Amino acid sequence: MPGLRVVLDTNVLVSGLAYPGSIPGRIVTAWRQGGLDVVLSRYILDELSRVLPRLSRVSLGVDEIRDLVDSFMFLADIVEPAGAQDDQLRDRADQPVLRTLLAGNANYLITGDKDLLVLARRYPIVTPAEFWMRHGG
């Protein structure tokens, strides 16, 4: 895995934090231990900040969530989503995530979002399980 640049979609980050023993959890752990180069955008981090407080599985207070997101800013390469809009993307709200992949020159976008996964023939988009099968274990 060393040297791989990946974008972790919000759903992977949330699953990884909520279920550390899951495949997303292993991916997040690999990143936090220096085994992956992760590319994120402010959009993904803002979405993470909005989602985490609603999860009963993750018992973090507002200040702890802010500290966690701030730490991710130091661990990840933060890019501004760039590139052309993709008219094939079914959910317009996913444009910044796809554009993070493009702006960050990442090897993969790892996501569980079906609206993004349908574009896997055109972009290097994989599920956490696919990524882990290829590179993790």
Look at residue 61 and tell me whether its pLDDT is greater than 90: no
Between residues 46 and 82, which one has the greater pLDDT? 46
Position 77 scores a pLDDT of 95
Mean pLDDT, the chain, rounded, equals 91
pLDDT of 54 over the 80 cut = yes
Predicted confidence at residue 56, as pLDDT, reads 67
Strand order in the sheet with 5-8: 77-79, 37-41, 5-8, 108-110, 125-126
CA–centroid distance for 42 within its chain: 12
Residue 37 CB partners (closer than 8 Å, separation 6+): 3, 4, 5, 6, 77
When computed from its CA atoms, the radius of gyration of the chain, rounded to whole angstroms, is 14
pLDDT band with cut points at 50, 70 and 90 for residue 99: very high
N-term to C-term CA, the chain: 10
- Average pLDDT of the residues in 1-17: 90
